[in-house]
Structure 1
Amino acid sequence: MTQVSIREAKNKLTELARRVEAGETITVTRNGKPVMELVPAKKKGGINWEGFEKYKEEHGIKEIIGYVSPDFDDPLPEDFLITPLPPVKYQP
């Protein structure tokens, strides 16, 4: 792991960016103490629709049926957050 000062990082940002793109992690320091790390960006996740379709096909699933209550988006009562929950009875 490479360490560089903030001043050096400012002056060599393009070079450091290329090294990080190649997979290197670089620690930036101030007065010899680490303050941040330059790391490669992670690929954003998401739903793998192709994999999902393949899974359905492999398991013989024709369609996924989900249920959402009709009042799902209705506003909550005003006292919802201040109303205490009923006591819970624990049975050992």
Structure 2
Amino acid sequence: MPDEIGSYEAKTKLPEILRRVEAGEAFTITNRGKPIADVIPSRTSERLKAEAAIANILKAKRHKLSDAERDELKNSGRK
């Protein structure tokens, strides 16, 4: 259940509310106790994060290590 916040408080604390929404919280804005709007995290940011992760995986798959690079990485891990 989203936290309820009055319209005046939402107006005066908008930057703080947006930071909290970005962190995953949700709010219902009320006007005189009547629910008016829901402020929820955008699904777009989640999609963009997923697309970036997929792109990084595909980029890593395309990069082939030479035998020398592989041996250097293997030896650098042994201390």
Q: TM-score, normalised by structure 1?
A: 0.46
Provide runs of 4+ in structure 1 moved above 2 Å.
none
Residue 38 (structure 2) aligns with: 37
Q: Tell me, in whole angstroms, the C-alpha distance in 1 between the residues paired with 2:18 and 2:37.
A: 14
- SS of match in other structure, 1:4: strand
Matches within 5 A, 1:5-44: 5-43=6-44
Instruction: Give the structure 1 partner of residue 75 of structure 2.
Output: none
Alpha-carbon distance in 1 for matches of 2:44, 2:37: 20
Q: State the 1:5 CA deviation.
A: 0.5
More helix by share: 2
| Identity fraction in percent | 40
Residue 42 of structure 1, CA deviation: 1.3
Amino acid at match of 2:39: L
Deviation at 1:29, TM superposition (A): 0.0
Aligned to 2:4: 3
Shift of 1:34: 0.4
- Distance between the aligned counterparts of 2:44 and 2:10, measured in 1? 24
Alpha-carbon offset, residue 13 of structure 1:
0.1
Structure with bigger gyration radius: 1
Return the offset for 1:43. 1.6
Deviation track 1:6-55 (CA, whole Å, cap 9, x = no partner) reads: 0000000000001100111100000101000111111276xx8x8xxxxx
1:1-92 equivalences under 5 Å are 1-43=2-44
Structure 2: segments with no counterpart, 5+ residues: 55-79
